[in-house]
Structure 1
Amino acid sequence: MKIRDIEMTAVEVPVIPLEEGGIAPYRGSQDKVGTTSITSLIFKVTTDEGITGWGEMNPIISTKVTKVLLEEYIKPLVIGQNPFDLNKIMQAFAPVYNPQINTKSFLTAIEMACWDIMGKSVNKPVYELLGGKVRDRIDIAYALGILDITQTKEKIAQIKEEGYRTLKTKGGKDVVFDIRRTIAMRDAGGDYFDIRVDMNQGYDTPTALRYLRGVEECDIQYIEQPIKVNKMDDLQSLRDRTRVPIGINEDCYVPGNLFEAIRRKAIDIAIVDFEPLGGITELSRLEHVAREADLPLAHHCGWDMGVKLAAILHSTCTMPAFTYPMDSTYFAHADDVLKEKIRIEDGSYVIPEGAGLGVQVDEEKLQFLAVK
């Protein structure tokens, strides 16, 4: 079997607004305007046997430049390859890796499609190819941007009523407001409701310590990436001086930083996304490291649409270290490229069944949602 062609379509979908029960505009510490729509790149990989696999990535540069990269760099690397030869395909990407264009995201999309093809070719779900499930569902951490305290309390009431048990929100701009809002979230959430706060590197170290000491009685699940990457001494110092669990995300993609954080015992959890890692295979390798270190993992969310979400579910349901709910915004997407959206039951994702990734792309809808 050989890969015959690769097609890419950029699609845009609105995010459901707050007043309609959604989360838009979604603001973080690095986002002044707020996200109201999402754009994803959907890849269709076709083999000479007529089997089609689907992949997805976040746009990292303009669609026009991305199409040139696809034609001039990605296609020559991949067309003619056997989709089962993942290691060979992954090695082919290494010479053109560039942090500015991040070909690892392209690799993730292509590798995702290859897993889909492999599963379809043997009529097995991807999770079986990865060794089988260790969990049947993936709990969801409901992702919410920065809101005022009144809006936050109202949203938590809605989230709990809908069956979600974990809230992931943003901070890192105003430490006094962040402390007050976190205390209010704990009061509104009550017992048996987990809260995690992502600072997106928004604090310096003294401010991060001030926040951590201000919320120590709030029983936070963890604080994510409170300070800038490559500050292992400071990260270790923070963990030594607070009871609040500390996690990293952006540091996970800097070569060597996860190993260093583990060696120093500077973190309690890592929040990872297979897209900047290079795909499911690389995620599995990282998970083995975390498991050996008894470090729990949570999967990150990058405004993932149904294709990538299906791949996340198929992979993380097979990996024991992913014991924490995954961040997600999928519930607030106004539409999707799939014929049937991935099911949510009682605040958890149901793993899609069927060959490959277990989902079907609606190609008419794909064209309808395409960025013109």
Structure 2
Amino acid sequence: MEITGVSAVTVDVPLADLDEHLGIGPYVTNHGKLRSMERVLVRVDTDEGLSGWGEMRVFLSPEATESIIEDGVGPMIEGQSPFEIERLRRQVFVEYTNVDMFFAAVETACWDIVGKALDRPVYELLGGWTAPTQGTQQHRQSVDGDSTAPIEVPVAFCLGILSPEESRVKAREAHEAGFTVLKTKAGRDWRQDVERIRAMHDEVDGQLEFRLDPNQGWTLDQAVRVGAMLEDAGIYLQYMEQPIRVDAHRSLARLRQRLRQPIAPNEDTYISHNLQSLVEAGAMDVGVIDLTPAGGISGIRQQAAILEDAGVPFTHHCAFDLGIRTAAILHAFTGIPGFSLPPDSTYYGWEADIIERPFEVSNGCLPAPDGPGLGVSIDMAAIEEYRIT
């Protein structure tokens, strides 16, 4: 089997409004406000009629992202076998720049092809179900070995920056929908960040755990104040995600020494060699990793091995993922050893999806697909509806 072509198309799908059940738009962060999100969908074709799909966010512009994938990465791998994923990943190399993020969606599509060719789900190709059992419905087997029910993966509800009172409403909504963890953006006003967490904690009587993510938006002293004030209020976060700027590993280590709030680098993990540096500096309690900057499922497996060997718990980041990348994350989470905390997700917050059978969020969980490859079928009519021309 040989790869015959790589193509990309960009869609722009709106977010459900805040006043809708589990709606999250507009989604406000330290860097801007989102009412919709552009996603690049990547298809890899083969000479045996099998195609695989991947997904990534837009970088710089849809045209630039599509061009790098189609005109840059595609020609590097055409004529080669999609089964040789690790060799392809190491082959896609350009001096002076990191092309892993652009190869990631192509790599995911190759996993999809291999799974379809072998009639097995990607999680089995990764070694089988390894997800933690606590809080997770187990994958059940019938007498003849056929699966009868998919595993349900608990996910963290993600929320943009709102007022304390608006945050109360969404925290109660998330709790009533069965979520046990809520991640909220932060960083514009550290004092209000504290007030929002206190308001949400009070609204649900402490029944939610919280992740606080300012996207590098605090200085070291502000991060200390936030963590200490929450401690004084008896609120202990699941973690503070990338509270200060990247490449400040010694400062992260000092912050970790001063607070009892767990520290979780995210953007710092986008450069793979940083993981070892963070471990050696004692700068992380939790790792928040992402398969796109890692170069795909193979890359995230490599990062997971580093963190697991270091005894650092880790989870997966969310980048407003539609059904294709959501499926890839669920396969990675359940097939790669070491993931121990619910991955972030905004899947419930889309108005629509581009797969034929969108995932159903139930009791704060997403079902890991168990069909061949990624286990999702693409709705071409939906792609045309949301396509950017």
Q: Same fold (TM over 0.5)?
A: yes
Shift of 1:90: 1.0
Residue of structure 1 equivalent to 2:350 = 333
Q: Structure 1 vs Structure 2: percent identity of aligned residues?
A: 36
Q: Residue 363 of structure 2 is aligned with which of 342, 346, 356? A: 346
Matched to 1:29, the amino acid is N
Deviation per CA, 1:276-330: give whole Å up to 9, x if none. 1101001001111111111111100001110011011011102232111111111
Residue of structure 1 equivalent to 2:223 = 208
Residue of structure 1 equivalent to 2:30 = 29
Conserved 8 A contact 1:310-1:342: no
Residue of structure 1 equivalent to 2:76 = 77
- TM-score of the superposed pair, with normalisation by structure 1: 0.96
Deviation per CA, 1:150-190: give whole Å up to 9, x if none. 10001111111111111000111212111222211211132
The range that moved more, 310-319 or 58-67, is 58-67
Q: Structure 2 matches for 1:1-372, cutoff 5 A?
A: 1-21=1-21, 22-31=23-32, 34-95=33-94, 98-99=97-98, 103-135=99-131, 136-216=151-231, 217-372=234-389
Conserved 8 A contact 1:201-1:225: yes
> Equivalents in 1 of 2:268, 2:66: separation in Å?
29
Conserved 8 A contact 2:83-2:110: yes
Conserved 8 A contact 1:137-1:317: no
Conserved 8 A contact 1:236-1:265: yes
- With over 3 angstroms needed to count, the CA separation of the structure-2 counterparts of 1:365 and 1:96, relative to structure 1, is farther
Matched to 1:236, the amino acid is A
Matched to 1:285, the amino acid is Q
Shift of 1:97: 6.3
> Equivalents in 1 of 2:66, 2:368: separation in Å?
32
> Equivalents in 1 of 2:269, 2:181: separation in Å?
23
Deviation per CA, 1:105-157: give whole Å up to 9, x if none. 22111100000000000100000010001233321110000000110001111
Matched to 1:206, the amino acid is D
Conserved 8 A contact 1:4-1:48: yes
> Equivalents in 2 of 1:186, 1:170: separation in Å?
15
SS at match of 1:112: helix
- TM-score of the superposed pair, with normalisation by structure 2: 0.91
SS at match of 2:63: helix
Deviation per CA, 1:208-229: give whole Å up to 9, x if none. 1111111112121111111001
> Equivalents in 2 of 1:252, 1:64: separation in Å?
27
The range that moved more, 303-312 or 132-141, is 132-141
Shift of 1:255: 4.6
Shift of 1:269: 0.1
- Structure 1: segments with no counterpart, 5+ residues: none
- Structure 2: segments with no counterpart, 5+ residues: 132-150
Aligned residue pairs: how many? 367
